[in-house]
Structure 1
Amino acid sequence: MSVIGAMLVDGPKAVGKTATASRIARTVVRMDTDRAARAALDAYPEQLFASPGPILFDEWQETPELWNLVRRAVDDRSDKGLFLLTGSARPRDDARMHSGAGRIGLLRMRPMSLFESGHSTGDVSFAALMKGEDPSGRPADLSVPDIIERMVIGGWPALLGQSEREARSWISDYLRTVAEIDVPGLGPRRNPGNVMRLLAALGRATGTPAKRTTLAAEVGARHGPIAAETLSNYLDALDRLMLIEPLSAWRPHMRSRSRLRASGVQHFVDPSIGISALGIGSQELLTDLEAAGLHFESLVTRDLRTYSQSLNATLSSWRDSQTGAEVDAIVELPDGSWAAFEIKMGEAAADAAASSLLAFANKVDTSRHGEPSALVVVTAGRFVYRRPDGVVVVPITALGP
């Protein structure tokens, strides 16, 4: 806010956007519930901009015309930190909005990382890892069952201190609201039952390249696959609600001739969404550690996104379509430096994960991409260390910004 006139804070519902922005704002205008404010927007919009600033316009997407008015107000006043906008859905495509480039900055807010919720010590700095520094520190005292419970509960501020049973009830209601109100409210009528089946199908596909043909068949169930266009509309709605965040495919220059996957890897913005959609909890995950490992990958991906955000980094994944070799996350910084992360819930898998990272790094054309800043295995384990081969092993409960 010190360098730009307005800030848009977006993200899914219930991640704390309004509560956080309200700490900074001097005036809060709730566009979804304040009828007087909406009437003023139609009749005399200048009134909305006369209050002490910074002014927060909460759920601004309910009145998309507000975007252009904020943009114009920033131009007219030529000052910084004037306005905040918060929203939990992107406007429809037919909303006529001009670019806010140079006037309205963007900050994505997600459910809390383990460091934010108090379940990671944060002793190992993600930023320091990206500089190639040696890690040191201790993880939080969480066992694998404890971490699985955190996956089920998720990073929702409303669930801090709540039990798994209470959290499962809350998230189930959250998804029901998404299916019955939020998704249908974004456009043409959509079947809530289909939305719930899609959420479950995406939950089963967590950590994998979700095939659209498979998703269409699972949503249609006994009635047969839904139409490709219908599936695209459902996925678009979940994207507008910022509930899904697939990892795009990284396609670097390689030393060998490889056919690289172009499709992304499915992840929800929080692992609890997919787990809840499947109707399971920590007990079921403890009896199926392979599935638990995929949801653990989603948990770590959420935290990596959060820690990398202040560095303006991008996240992607890599897979060789010929050999099946893959790397769970590639983090790239604006200066071109990069690091590769393998995510394994079990400590015993660190050796195989390290070998996989080294083999991958050896295939990348470093004359074009440079040497990796770090090769990291993130686990649910107990120890932080750098291996003799240079690969770093870090428990997720020790990682922080």
Structure 2
Amino acid sequence: MAAYKKRIVDNILSQKLESSGAVLIEGAKWCGKTTTAEQHAKSIIYMDDPAEMGQNIKLAEINPKRLLAGDTPRLIDEWQIAPQLWDSIRFTVDHRDSLGQFILTGSAVPADRSKVHHTGTGRFSWLTMRPMSLWESGESNGEVSLRSLFEAPVFIDGQNGLNIDDLAFLICRGGWPRTLGMRREAALRQAENYYDAVVNNDISRVDGVDRNSHRAHRIMRSLARFQGSQTSLATIREDIVTNDVETIHAETVSSYIDALKKIFVIEDSPAWNPNLRSKAAIRTSDTRYFIDPSIATASLGAGPDDLINDLNTMGLLFETLCVRDLRVYAQSLDGNLYHYRDSNGLECDAVVHLRNGQYGLVEIKLGGDSLIADGKKTLKALSDVIDTTKMKAPSFRMVLTGTGNYAYRDEDGSYIVPIGCLKD
């Protein structure tokens, strides 16, 4: 068995166990939730073990205490199979009056919420886990820390070890832990296998609604084409109908997308709403992203060579990769990721906003001097319209790139950082 590769959420999980009775880890299948939770647990029950699943579900109904008995923290893996356990865990946490009692993992929102009667407020903490960032998988050297940029250093230094071919492969391979150490061809097939599982099984299992795999494929393919945009449901429907002879209703598209969110395949980026000096109206639509860029390439049937031959598409999917990594890094800083767009056409790909009110502005560019210059110009324009009498000025402006040999601070104060140099 391969040695465990430490994840950024390990420290976050330890902190949450020190302050909560139970911690729920949610995220996409195969992103490593169970393996990470196992590192912290003293006892474990796998609810979806085929040999025990029927008995586990029955016990959850008639004698949940038996399932919860064991050394703590006790891991309840895929707890959503028996959602009534939630109330039993809450009750047990209350009566033991002790912290760090349980770790729950789940790769889907429970289908039957009627069996959950209490919110868990004050007893549970929530932790979202995503596929591996490039720093976690070892492809980024981590010479530039996102945390350090909030201190506005006058000098940064890093040398990028990734080229355009490396990036095309990493976009298609994705951040799935099981791909590490695999042969290149086998690693690329993992994303295809994940995609097949979603359209043929998971999208229906999440809530028991029988969904058509062909429709799921068409919807995911359309979503892949609109990565990094604020495209409406109506436009997605039109795209599907245009590229297929079969019609589809908007309500159906919405239902499939909601199911994809419930199994953590989609994670849209919410809009950022700063105080502005201008009268521009801030657009509030979410920006559409898959949780990992490899899901988009699998949906499109594209491989690394296809991306190299279509750099416009590669640029969009590179943005999805960067958003994935920024989310992982921001989480370790107790922050969140947003996007910005206003009625004047001013856009910013990512805003890393911390709980203490600090924030950094990020433009994502695959590479090239002209694109980097455009990114710097956008960041400066947004920085200039923020009303700093009502909120803090940005802690940093960063152009996050794919290619380029070095990380550095430019003469205008912006940071140029290759994704192959970045860490949390």
Q: Using structure 2 for the length normalisation, give the TM-score.
A: 0.91
1:95-138, Cα deviation, whole Å (9 max, x unpaired): 34211121111111111000000001111111111232345232
Aligned 8 A contact 1:30 1:58 in 2: yes
User: Is 2:291 aligned against 1:269?
Assistant: yes
Alpha-carbon offset, residue 147 of structure 1: 1.3
Which moves more between the two structures, 270-279 or 42-51?
Answer: 42-51
Preserved contact between residue 221 and residue 296 of structure 2 (Cα < 8 Å): yes
Q: Does 1:82 align with 2:104?
A: no
Which one-letter code corresponds to 1:292 in the other structure? M
The one-letter code sitting in structure 2 at the alignment partner of 1:85 is L
Q: Distance in 2 between matches of 1:194 and 1:201?
A: 11
Query: Are 2:400 and 1:400 aligned?
Result: no
- Supply the distance in 2 between the matched residues of 1:133 and 1:72 (Cα, whole angstroms): 49
Distance 1:43 1:257 in 2: 60
| C-alpha displacement of 1:29 | 0.7
Looking at structure 1, the residues matched to 341 and 64 of structure 2 have their Cα atoms a distance apart, in angstroms, of 51
Q: State the one-letter code of the partner of 2:70.
A: S
Per-residue CA deviations over 1:224-275 (Å, capped at 9, x if unaligned) read: 5422221111111000001111111112222112132221111111111001
Question: Which letter maps to 1:382?
Answer: N
Confirm or deny that 1:148 pairs with 2:168.
yes
AA aligned to 1:302 is R
Q: Does 1:236 align with 2:283?
A: no
* Deviates further, 185-194 or 390-399: 185-194
Q: CA deviation at 1:94?
A: 3.6
Which of the residues 313, 316, 319 maps onto 1:297? 319
SS state at 2:366 partner: coil
The yes-or-no answer on 1:252 pairing with 2:271 is: no
Q: Which residue of 2 aligns with 1:357?
A: 379
1:132 correspondence with 2:148: no
Q: Given the alignment of the two structures, is residue 217 of structure 1 paired with residue 238 of structure 2, yes or no?
A: yes
Q: Determine if the alignment matches structure 1 residue 29 to structure 2 residue 52.
A: no
**Which of 12, 17, 23 lines up with 1:7 in the alignment?**
23
The match for 1:43 is 62
Equivalent of 2:83 in 50, 59, 64: 64
Shift of 1:91: 1.0
Deviations 1:146-178 (A, max 9, x none): 112111101101111234422332221211111
Q: Unpaired segments of 5 or more residues in structure 2?
A: 1-16
Query: C-alpha separation between the residues in 1 aligned to 2:139 and 2:332?
Result: 20
Q: Is the 8 A contact 1:329 1:341 kept in 2?
A: yes
Amino acid at match of 1:320: D
- What residue in structure 2 maps to residue 168 of structure 1? 188
Q: Could you tell me how far 1:75 is from its partner in structure 2?
A: 0.5
Question: What code does the residue aligned with 1:58 have?
Answer: D
Q: What is the match of residue 52 of structure 1? A: 71
Q: Distance in 2 between matches of 1:314 and 1:93?
A: 29
Counterpart Cα distance in 2 of 1:184 and 1:135: 51
Instruction: Provide Cα deviations, 1:306-349, integer angstroms capped at 9, x if missing partner.
Output: 00102221211111233x22110011111112110000011412
Report the identity percentage: 38
Q: Which amino acid aligns with 1:356?
A: T
2:366 is the alignment partner of 1:345? yes
Q: CA deviation at 1:69?
A: 0.8
- Contact residue 218 and residue 225 of structure 1 kept, 8 A: no
Q: Give the Cα separation in 2 of the matches to 1:26 and 1:127.
A: 32
Question: How much is the aligned-residue C-alpha RMSD, in angstroms?
Answer: 1.5
Letter paired with 2:180: L
Counterpart Cα distance in 2 of 1:93 and 1:233: 16
Q: Is the 8 A contact 1:247 1:316 kept in 2?
A: yes
Helix, strand or coil for the counterpart of 2:19?
A: coil
5+ unaligned residues in a row in structure 1: which ranges? none
Q: Deviations over 1:63-116 (max 9, x none)?
A: 100111111111010111111100100112643421112111111111100000
Tell me if structure 1 keeps the 8 A contact 2:25–2:103.
Answer: yes
Q: Distance in 2 between matches of 1:108 and 1:351?
A: 34
Distance between the aligned counterparts of 1:218 and 1:161, measured in 2?
Answer: 38
The one-letter code of the counterpart of 2:263 is: L
Count of paired positions: 400
Give SS of 2:283's match.
coil
Q: Which residue of 2 aligns with 1:187?
A: 208
Q: Secondary structure of the residue that 2:72 maps to in structure 1?
A: coil
Equivalent in the alignment of 1:101: 121
Does the residue aligned with 1:193 lie in a helix, a strand or coil?
Answer: helix
- Residue of structure 1 aligned with 2:178, choices 152, 158, 163: 158
The answer on whether the counterparts of 2:271 and 2:286 sit within 8 Å (CA) in structure 1 is yes
What secondary structure, in the 3-state scheme, does the structure 1 residue paired with 2:158 have? coil
**Residues 379 and 165 (structure 1), Cα distance of their counterparts in 2 relative to 1, 3 Å cut:** same
Q: Secondary structure of the residue that 2:65 maps to in structure 1?
A: helix
TM-score (normalizing by structure 1) = 0.96
**Residue 373 of structure 1: aligned partner:** 395
Distance apart, 1:139 and its partner CA:
3.4
Match for residue 92 of structure 2 among 60, 65, 73:
73
CA distance in 2, matches of 1:43, 1:190: 32
Where 1:73 maps in the other structure, the secondary structure is: helix
More displaced stretch, 174-183 vs 217-226? 217-226
Match 2:303 to one of 268, 274, 281 = 281
CA contact (8 A) 1:197 1:218 kept: no
Tell me if structure 1 keeps the 8 A contact 2:73–2:100.
yes
Deviation, structure 1 residue 359: 1.0
Work out whether residues 194 and 219 of structure 1, in 8 Å CA contact, stay in contact via their aligned partners in 2: no
Q: Retained in 2: the 8 A contact 1:28–1:57?
A: yes
